[in-house]
Amino acid sequence: MSNTASSNPLNLEPRLQSIMQQQYPRFSDTEYARRHAALAAAMGKHGCDHLLVVTDHRAGNAVQWATGWPGTVEAYAVFKPGERMVMHMEWFNHFPLGRKIARDVDVRWGQHQGIALTIAELKRRGAKRVGLIGPLVVSKFRQLEAAFEMVLLDGDYTQLRMRKSAEEIDWLRIGAALSDAGLRALVAGTRVGMDERELGALVESAYVKLGGTTMIHYIGVTSMAQPHIYVPPQHPSPRKVQAGDVIFCELSAFWWDYPGQILRTFTVDADPTPRYADLHATAEATFDAVTKVLRHGATMQEIIDATGLIEQKGYTVCDDLVHGFGGGYFQPIIGTKSRMAGRALPQMTLEENMTVVVQPNPVTMEADESKRAGVQVGEMMRITRDGCEPLHHAPRGLFRAGQII
């Protein structure tokens, strides 16, 4: 490997490579100012004088969005426009790194009573009406509710995360590149005799060494002649890869809470059977049809109409065909006419710099579900003024295990 390749294994442009070379990557002061202004506006809309942002046992990403600290056990960040944030966090051995990473925050050890100390801080500030973003167990919420008028702002936060800044899109590009690396390792490294758990290890081995972390790696392995699954399972089994198998996957690697998502299908030591070749061709054609209509201002009806080939071919879907992504699993969440993602289409249009995953998952419709077949195709896209831009660079196609892609 050349020195250039070894120093930039993802082949990123210099702007993105420089982000990866930071000890603990951080957004610009301008970006944090944008976020804090957006939080202040949400507070103002609901008449809140303070905001409490919570991460609990790695659940909830608003603390990271507001401060840069990913959160581990507990993190309670008190925010008020124009004042320095205060954050109580656990555990004491996590405290030194929390102080180092959190940007412009008075980080304090929670002493295993973080919610009580947070309430005391809010009282000291004279808080009356407090907004809340993030997960909180009922017992802790009741303690807050006994002291303040509480207003839930999770919906407002979701709206803020649906539209990405230019800096956020750069971090998503890195997450996409890490996810692509996982895909390439999986396709190239899969061999007969490996089990599904080893396939997951292949995926992670490609990006953990580069600073990526795993969001998901769902990998389905089944016989093309006698399939027993039609969508990638969320947990691996010890089933071993065999000649004549098909493998379909959904992979997301994080770059500090900014993931990619890529979905592909490949066969093992065999050409695709006619059924799988047709399923894959249908998925690819549907992907093209949907991405053709994606743009600023696109309606949900335009999107679902573009999925029609799946039903025309006699298939349906199991997975959502389109969903918002990047900071959460967002609207628009759309299936197809034969398997809607909800009772009705979302009441919205696409906007520039939203990011969505398009992931056709055509599935056959045998009455016996244990005999159904399916494939996965797709990736994350950025909505532009006139169309959409793929954030991934891995090639498309129906691959063969052992292939270098």
Do 181 and 87 lie in a common domain?
A: no
In this structure, the strands spanning 50-56 and 129-133 are parallel
What's the whole-number average pLDDT of the chain? 97
- The domain total for the chain is 2
CA distances from 111 to 54, 118, 124 (A): 16, 11, 18
**Mean of the pLDDT values across residues 134-160?**
97
Q: Kindly tell me if the per-residue pLDDT of 52 is higher than 90.
A: yes
In this structure, the strands spanning 213-223 and 149-152 are unpaired
Do 183 and 109 lie in a common domain?
A: no
Token reading at 236: 């691996």
Give the domain-ending residue among 108, 142, 162: 162
Q: How many whole angstroms separate alpha carbon 38 and alpha carbon 266?
A: 44
Q: For residue range 287-311, list pLDDT tens digits in order.
A: 999 999 999 999 999 999 999 999 9
Q: Kindly tell me if the per-residue pLDDT of 32 is higher than 80.
A: yes
Do 386 and 350 lie in a common domain?
A: yes
Q: For residue range 82-106, list pLDDT tens digits in order.
A: 999 999 999 999 999 999 999 999 9
Name 323's bridge partners.
Answer: 357
* Overall size of the chain counted in residues: 405
Q: How many whole angstroms separate alpha carbon 1 and alpha carbon 298?
A: 44
Query: Does any domain span residue 18?
Result: no
Residues 6 or more apart from 222 whose CB is under 8 A from it? Answer: 228, 229, 230, 245, 246, 373
Domain that holds residue 204: 166-400
In this structure, the strands spanning 258-259 and 245-255 are antiparallel
Do 219 and 319 lie in a common domain?
A: yes
Q: What is the model's pLDDT at position 118?
A: 98
Q: For residue range 354-388, list pLDDT tens digits in order.
A: 999 999 999 999 999 999 999 999 999 999 999 99
Whether this model's pTM surpasses 0.75: yes
How many degrees, rounded to 5, is the angle at CA 355 between CA 354 and CA 360? Answer: 130
Which region holds residue 52: left if phi is over 0, alpha if psi is between -120 and 50, else beta? beta
Token reading at 324: 């918002």
Helical ranges in 190-332 per DSSP H: 196-207, 274-293, 300-305, 309-312
Q: For residue range 233-259, list pLDDT tens digits in order.
A: 999 999 999 999 999 999 999 999 999
Query: Does any domain span residue 14?
Result: no
Max distance between CA atoms of the chain, in angstroms, equals: 70
Do 181 and 133 lie in a common domain?
A: no
**Closest of 241, 244, 251 to residue 275, by C-alpha:** 244
Q: For residue range 190-212, list pLDDT tens digits in order.
A: 999 999 999 999 999 999 999 99
Q: What is the CATH number of the domain that holds 66?
A: 3.40.350.10
Query: Does any domain span residue 333?
Result: yes
Q: Kindly tell me if the per-residue pLDDT of 4 is higher than 60.
A: no
Which H helix or E strand runs over 155?
helix 154-162
Q: What is the model's pLDDT at position 270?
A: 98
Q: Kindly tell me if the per-residue pLDDT of 2 is higher than 90.
A: no
Query: Does any domain span residue 357?
Result: yes
Give the domain-ending residue among 111, 136, 162: 162
Do 233 and 287 lie in a common domain?
A: yes
Q: Kindly tell me if the per-residue pLDDT of 67 is higher than 90.
A: yes
Q: Kindly tell me if the per-residue pLDDT of 216 is higher than 60.
A: yes
Query: Does any domain span residue 203?
Result: yes
Q: Kindly tell me if the per-residue pLDDT of 127 is higher than 60.
A: yes
Residue 332 preceded by cis peptide, ω within 30:
yes
Whether residue 303 contacts residue 293, with contact meaning beta carbons closer than 8 Å, is answered with: yes
Q: How many whole angstroms separate alpha carbon 44 and alpha carbon 59?
A: 26
Q: What is the model's pLDDT at position 236?
A: 96
Q: How many whole angstroms separate alpha carbon 279 and alpha carbon 363?
A: 7
Do 386 and 307 lie in a common domain?
A: yes
Q: What is the CATH number of the domain that holds 278?
A: 3.90.230.10
Query: Does any domain span residue 5?
Result: no
Percent of the chain having pLDDT more than 70?
99
**Mean of the pLDDT values across residues 67-80?**
96
Give the domain-ending residue among 162, 186, 203: 162
Q: How many whole angstroms separate alpha carbon 88 and alpha carbon 278?
A: 55
Do 201 and 79 lie in a common domain?
A: no
Query: Does any domain span residue 7?
Result: no
Token reading at 134: 């993030």
Whether residue 325 contacts residue 259, with contact meaning beta carbons closer than 8 Å, is answered with: yes
Do 322 and 369 lie in a common domain?
A: yes
Do 136 and 276 lie in a common domain?
A: no
Query: Does any domain span residue 188?
Result: yes
Q: What is the model's pLDDT at position 258?
A: 98
Do 253 and 104 lie in a common domain?
A: no
Q: What is the model's pLDDT at position 7?
A: 80
- 5 band by pLDDT with thresholds 50, 70 and 90: low
Do 305 and 370 lie in a common domain?
A: yes
